[in-house]
Amino acid sequence: MEQSAGTGGQGVVESYFSCDFNMMTAWTKLGELARAPYDLTAPGALSPARIRSYRAQAAGIDLLYATQRVDEPVLAALQRLAEQSGAVAQFLLMKRGEVLNRIEGYASEERPVLHTACRDIFAPVSLAPEVSAQAKAELEKLADFLAALEAGAIVNVAGEPFTDLVQVGIGGSDLGPRALYLALAAYKIPGRRVHFISNVDPDDAAAILNGLDLARTLVNVVSKSGSTLETLTNEELVRQAYAEAGLEPSRHFLAVTGKGSPMDNPARYLRSFYMFDSIGGRYSVTSMVGAVLLGFGLGYPQLLEILRGANAMDLAAEEPDIRRNPALLLALLGIWNHNFLGCETLAILPYSQALVRFTAHLQQCDMESSGKSVTRQGKPLAWKSGPIIWGEPGTNGQHAFYQLIHQGTIIVPVEFIGFRASQYGRDLLIEQTTSQEKLVANLLAQALALATGQANENPNRSFAGNRPSAVLMADRLTPYTMGALLALYEAKVVFQGFIWNINSFDQEGVQLGKKLAGRLLDHLAARREGQDGAAEAEDDPGLALLAEVSKKV
């Protein structure tokens, strides 16, 4: 179902919501082409001309995809798939605030999806001016708070500046913010540190608190509803530590929450910053969820650079031509590998130690978004949705799991992420090359080895090749580049969801486990109060299982 990206409106939304992946003519064509995909091992298959041509660029990031099993007919069919699904048109509708977080005819969240509005304050014209204005107002509040910290207007009871901040949150309130802070630690303010408590495991909180001077530490508690059980539990653990140290928590605690939530309480928090319903947890890094700690740890100017980079990639994602839209092209290459070449997983391998937790963030962003088995009409999917996302930084991974990627019995497509220069610039020549040159050489060698393989009479040393990969390359991992890289992957996930006709913005799959855990916790609380639940456990598999694991060895 093709529509103009500029038509907008609910009628266009409805037309795309009924657009099934396997009913498009592009689906049929891609299925035919997948019977004999491009052979990367053929003589001359990776020619210099192909490598130069198969390159897309935006916001300072190059996508090199010559090592994918695609050729001109496949790229043409993928372009047609993008057009028939209205991928870019739906992206624009999303940015304008159309309600895309829903399932037709069934109870669902029924919300707009406007994480892009957090950073379109830099765009000439905002497509969602109301939400953009909200984001700008929160940024101004944050700028005032950070300036007061810097000027010494906000200090602890002893008149000392705050040196540390602990982020208390889970899921999207932890993974993305943690990944970006670690990625940009080279840019942190001297004398400032940020720490994270996410797991409800009490040892997580204890390990962080044991190494802190609480008197000089701020605590940023993040929960949109103000009722996330793990976060509230950890908050109370931290508050108890402050009380035991003779400190008043309200002089140290910050809140990032929904306006009017139980946490929106000036009696308990030094400052409150707002997050809004239109910004989902795993897409919330550039909202106050990530901005508070990034502003504290890196400084407000660096935070703005992250937002500028993200906005630049958001604008590039509006480009209909897939060869000039890296996020859309990467999404389509993923669909080609997953739906047509039958690859079940995707390894995202950054050749940068700073991105040590970025794949973990992308794992949530992708698998929580694309782990769906019904269409936006609530019908069972007749095609595969998202792949399994995993990975670790190179070159460490080369000495761990690359053996399977090269010679295992399954094909694992790879997305490599690399940088031409290091962050710190501290390097030296060893055997006539620098460490950064060794890092980049290893990245490129892996992509080439996966593609071309190696023939050998010794079967143990034979590599089949034809294992697809792509390379994302930028000059240096800066705040701007990090913002662009983040937005690229957010858009990639969103595009794939539009094409698969799934709701990428809810996460009902996590609710059942929470519900069952709540029943078990109610039982434990009742037992602590002296109530006997033994008879009930006989008929309840959950309680019976709890009884078994409660037995001491």
| Strand pairing report for 193-197 and 164-168 | parallel
- State what percent of residues in the chain have pLDDT above 70: 95
Q: What is the 3-state secondary structure (H, E, C) of 197-240?
A: ECCCCHHHHHHHHCCCCHHHEEEEEEECCCCCHHHHHHHHHHHH
User: Model's pTM, two decimal places?
Assistant: 0.94
368 is catalytic: yes
Pairing assessment for the beta strands 217-223 and 271-275 based on DSSP bridges: unpaired
pLDDT digits (tens, 9 = 90+) for 23-42: 999 999 999 999 999 999 99
- Catalytic residue, candidates 98, 138, 305, 368: 368
Backbone angles phi and psi of 348, in degrees to 5:
-110, 115
pLDDT tens readout for residues 66-87: 999 999 999 999 999 999 999 9
Please compute, for residue 422, the number of CA atoms within 13 A of its CA located in the half-sphere on the CB side: 12
**Is the model's pLDDT at 519 over the cut of 60?**
yes
Query: Is residue 262's pLDDT more than 50?
Result: yes
Calculated CA dihedral for residues 413, 116, 503, 16, nearest 10 degrees: -100
Choice among 236, 508, 514, 538 that is catalytic: 514
Is 252 one of the catalytic residues? no
User: Which residue is catalytic, options 72, 244, 399, 431?
Assistant: 399
H-helix or E-strand containing 16? helix 10-17
Tell whether the model's pLDDT for residue 215 goes beyond 70. Answer: yes
* 361 is known as an active-site residue: no
Partnered with residue 222 across adjacent β-strands are 256
Give the CA-trace dihedral at 41, 42, 45, 46, to 10 degrees: 40
Q: Which domains does the chain have, with CATH numbers?
A: 122-308 (3.40.50.10490), 509-550 (no CATH)
56 pLDDT exceeds 80? yes
**DSSP H/E element including 419:** strand 414-419
